Copies of this chain bind each other. A is one copy, B any other.
Amino acid sequence: MNIPIAKNKRVVIIGGGFGGLNLAKGLRNKGFQVVLLDKHNYHAFQPLFYQVATAGLEPGSIAYPFRKIFSSYHNYFFRMANVLRIDTAAHTVNTDIGTLPYDYLVIATGATTNFFGNKQLEQLCMPMKTVSEALDIRSLMLQNLEKALLTTNADDKDSLMGIVIVGGGPTGVELAGALAELKKDILPNDYPDLDMRVMDIHLLDSNDRLLKAMSEKSSAKAQEALSEMGVDIRLGTRVTDYDGQKITTKSGEKFRAAMVIWAAGVKAAFPDGLPAEAIASGRILVDQFNRIKGTENIFAIGDCAAMISEANPLGHPMMAQPALQQGARLADNLARFDQGKQPEPFSYRNLGAMATIGRNKAVTELPNLKLYGWIAWVAWLFVHVAKLIGFRNKIVVLINWAQNYLSHSRDLRLIIRPFKR
């Protein structure tokens, strides 16, 4: 892979999401050679993908090139690569661009969309776990409306204008809210010859409430707000079938929708080659130092890792905070390992959770405080702008939000596709 051999020990990090990037930053000036491998050449801020999908933000505002981040770091290397396999005996990572030996290896490969084995749903539903997928949702939604104009068949029009979101977690709730606002504020002006009452936004969830990771009160608030905005919420509803036009639920109900966005779950993603004893329930078992079970010098952090304890029998939740915190902790611990010092066990600090629903509407749960409505929405704005990487990104996002807020508009309604190669 053409990376110079240094006298420093080499830490190879697979994946530059919240966990991997925070680890890489934390390793600065700790005396390692750091190699980050990622499929993309940028870090993407997943919590705002839903705004890219709904024409509120451009990808450039929420993505940041790794090379720019590392350009001032000493002895850091980035390679764009797909990791195929880990060879724990040879201490190497096998990728589509070659093989790389490691001294320490950290798997921070996150999670991918979980279709629970249903190939038909996987083929026809739209996931939203990459920037391209978010852009693709934007383009398909607009294309379907253009097509809806052309048909006089009521069923076809129903399908083309219908949108089903499967999954009522933060992603599904935020998407549903943003789509409801598009439907109310923007699409009637854009498509005066379409009857927007035909456009149904269905939010389906198999649980008995939305945002099940949050409190019942927050769930109720979110449900109430989305219902008021015209979202059709179906709880206790499982999807069994989708033919590209109609989606069918377990109870036999059918909803017409040419676009189904799948936000119903994620599953850990990681390369082959780990010891069998290290894998359980699809995640990688790690000890309290994030070291993978049955290995000496391989670690896993974030969504793909399960640090199981009495307090956390299922491991930590698959979201940004545990990944960020494990990345920071492991940066420190790798230095300790290397110096023969005792590492410190990871302890998770729950900073809360939040989901925005629409203009002046959000639910924000801090450790000792629950906020709703306008104040929760302002809190959401501040946290998300603060967490974005890059000064330009913060400014451009703020300007887009200010303009969207003041004008009730989203200007990025562009169908851009496809590429030549």
Chain A residues with a Cβ under 8 A of chain B: 1-2, 4, 40-42, 58-61, 63-65, 67-68, 71-72, 77, 79-80, 97-98, 126, 131-133, 135-136, 139-140, 142-143, 146, 149-152, 189-193, 390-393, 395-396, 399-400, 403, 409, 411-421
Contact = CB atoms under 8 A, between A and B. Distances in A.
A401 to B, nearest CB: 11
A80 B150 CA distance: 10
A190 B419 contact: no
Given A59-B58, A416-B131, A418-B419, A98 B150 contact: yes
B392 A403 contact: yes
A419 B418 CA distance: 7
20 contacts: A1-B150, A2-B151, A41-B142, A42-B415, A63-B416, A65-B413, A65-B414, A67-B413, A68-B190, A71-B189, A71-B190, A71-B192, A79-B146, A131-B414, A132-B418, A133-B420, A140-B421, A392-B400, A395-B399, A418-B419
Contacts of A139: 419
A190 to B, nearest CB: 4
Contacts of A192: 71
Given A392-B400, A411-B64, A419 B136 contact: yes
The 6 closest A-B pairs by CB, nearest first: A71-B189, A67-B190, A58-B60, A58-B58, A65-B413, A60-B412
A149 B79 contact: yes
Number of copies: 2
A175 to B, nearest CB: 17
Most chain B C-beta atoms within 10 Å of own C-beta, residue among A79, A151, A418, A420: A420
Given A79-B149, A396-B396, A67 B191 contact: yes
A414 B409 CA distance: 26
Nearest to A139: B419
Given A65-B413, A146-B41, A419 B2 contact: no
A80 B415 contact: yes
Nearest to A189: B71
Q: Which of A4, A60, A63, A77 has the most CB of B within 10 A?
A: A60
Given A150-B1, A150-B2, A414-B65, A403 B420 contact: no
A192 B192 CA distance: 54
A10 to B, nearest CB: 15
Contacts of A411: 60, 64-65, 68, 390, 392-393
A240 B189 CA distance: 51
A328 to B, nearest CB: 25
